Amino acid sequence: MPHRVSVARSVDWGDTDAAGHYHHSSVIRWVEAAENALHVELGLLDLFGTVPRVRYEVDYLDRLWFRDEVVTELWVESVGRTSLVYGFEVAGPRGPAARGRMVCVNVAARVGPASGEGSPAAPWPEEVRQRLAEAQTSGE
């Protein structure tokens, strides 16, 4: 069983859409908060800004409403040579509300308009790969 992190939040007014339930874009923010919590636990704060998302998929299972309490769980599903797959689930008062996967790629250095070019995927440094792989297989 993989190591999981959990982050609790309330559905804020700004997380909702005109129908009154959570907007689909809220899920990625909650997932990224859980990803940050995992990086803190693993001592991998340097990954911020060097691991862009290349794929994101979500199954929306239930509605969440303003002020509902939600818990987002995130875990490492797999670690490749240059990429990483997270699994996640967002649960509300009635159970799972969203479930999915997010694929990230290591680009090794921050890139942006100032650099003038993008950066190709790079292999994980061994220490980073080891910490991520241990999170993938550790039981909690």
CATH at residue 91: 3.10.129.10
Query: What are the backbone dihedrals phi and psi of residue 5, each rounded to the nearest 5 degrees, phi first?
Result: -110, 150
Q: Cα(first)–Cα(last) distance of the chain, in Å?
A: 7
Q: pTM of the predicted model, to two decimals?
A: 0.88
Least confident window among 22-26, 48-52, 66-70: 48-52
Query: For residues 47 and 32, is the Cβ–Cβ distance under 8 A?
Result: no
Strand spans (E) along the chain = 4-10, 53-60, 69-79, 83-92, 95-105
User: What torsion do the CA atoms of 45, 41, 27, 87 make, to the nearest 10 degrees?
Assistant: 110
pLDDT tens for 46-65 read: 888 889 999 999 999 999 99
Per the structure, the count of domains in the chain is 1
**Domain enclosing residue 67, as ranges:** 4-137
